[in-house]
């Protein structure tokens, strides 16, 4: 099975940028559609973005559309989430997830999850 590890989180001021990485090991990343999700304190986990195995299909939550960009580098076994124009409401733990098959927006459809990385946006 695939193991996932996120990195790149941190503290940033509103309007700033961060790039999250999700490194896969154990199986080729190219076998999986990848999703990014986030969970803020006291809130349910929510969908952020997803990208298909070959990057042909990409979907974003409305709340991040135009600010976040999801991508992947299959030879490097790494997926990315570029986050620009960050807002305090983007503060959350961000998770990457993998599933065999097509890209989906529902977290319950992903079998493999990373440990998460904290993103904090100060106002």
Q: Rounded CA gap, 110 and 25, in Å?
A: 16
* 92-107 pLDDT per residue, tens: 999 999 999 999 999 9
Q: Alpha carbon of 25 to those of 37, 39, 78, 122: distances in Å?
A: 19, 24, 9, 33
For the chain, give the mean pLDDT: 97
Q: Rounded CA gap, 95 and 3, in Å?
A: 13
Give the pLDDT band of residue 68 (cuts 50, 70, 90): very high
């Amino acid at each position: 099975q695939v193991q996932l590890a996120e990195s790149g989180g941190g503290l940033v001021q509103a309007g700033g940028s961060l790039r999250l990485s999700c490194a896969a090991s154990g199986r080729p990343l190219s076998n999986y559609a990848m999703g990014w999700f986030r969970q803020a304190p006291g809130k349910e986990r929510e969908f952020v973005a997803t990208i298909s195995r070959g990057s042909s299909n990409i979907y974003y939550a409305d709340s991040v559309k135009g600010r976040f960009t999801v991508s992947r580098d299959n030879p490097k076994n790494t997926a990315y989430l570029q986050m620009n124009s960050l807002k305090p409401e983007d503060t959350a733990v961000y998770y990457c997830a993998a599933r065999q098959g097509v890209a989906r927006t529902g977290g319950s459809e992903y079998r493999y999850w990373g440990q998460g990385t904290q993103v904090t946006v100060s106002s």
